[in-house]
């Protein structure tokens, strides 16, 4: 496995459901937004677990056929993004430049929003 996590979280975690939030943001913008809310990017491990759990609850994987999510894991030094195709095929890629953004590319985070 050539993917490494930026951090090594353990225990329970929360995550956003539905389509990926933080759409149309660059990597630096995404990191600023989630940091401001006291959150961190989900690792690929957490994303896979959350997607399986979401499938059990809703019958659909996270981002299935709709959006892509930047994650707190890296391949070749670049942040990976992932999404599920219809039918449960997971695609994980690490080719994005940090300043790339797109209307269907967001991010997934975990943590407690501070008010």
pLDDT in tens, 10-54: 888 999 998 999 999 999 999 999 999 889 999 999 999 999 999
Q: Which two tokens stand for residue 34?
A: 């989630």
Count other Cβ atoms within 10 Å, centred on residue 52. 13
Q: Which two tokens stand for residue 9?
A: 């979280």
pLDDT in tens, 64-92: 989 999 999 999 999 999 999 998 999 99
Res 113: pLDDT:
52
Res 11: pLDDT:
86
Cα–Cα distance measured from residue 95 to residue 34, given in angstroms and rounded to the nearest whole number: 22
Q: Is the pLDDT of residue 112 over 70?
A: no
E strands, the chain, in order? 3-5, 39-41, 68-75, 78-85, 89-93, 105-107, 109-111
Q: Which two tokens stand for residue 77?
A: 């030094």
pTM over 0.85, yes/no = yes
Phi and psi at residue 89, in whole multiples of 5°? -80, 120
């Amino acid at each position: 496995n050539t993917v490494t996590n930026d951090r090594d979280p353990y225990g329970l975690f929360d995550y956003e459901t539905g389509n990926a939030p933080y759409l149309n943001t660059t990597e630096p913008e995404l990191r600023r937004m989630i940091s401001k809310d006291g959150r961190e990017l989900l690792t690929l491990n957490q994303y896979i677990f959350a997607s399986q759990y979401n499938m059990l609850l809703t019958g659909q994987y996270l981002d299935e056929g709709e959006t892509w999510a930047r994650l707190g894991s890296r391949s070749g030094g670049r942040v990976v993004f992932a999404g599920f195709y219809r039918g449960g095929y997971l695609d994980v890629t690490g080719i994005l430049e940090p300043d790339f953004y797109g209307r269907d590319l967001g991010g997934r985070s975990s943590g407690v929003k501070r008010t």
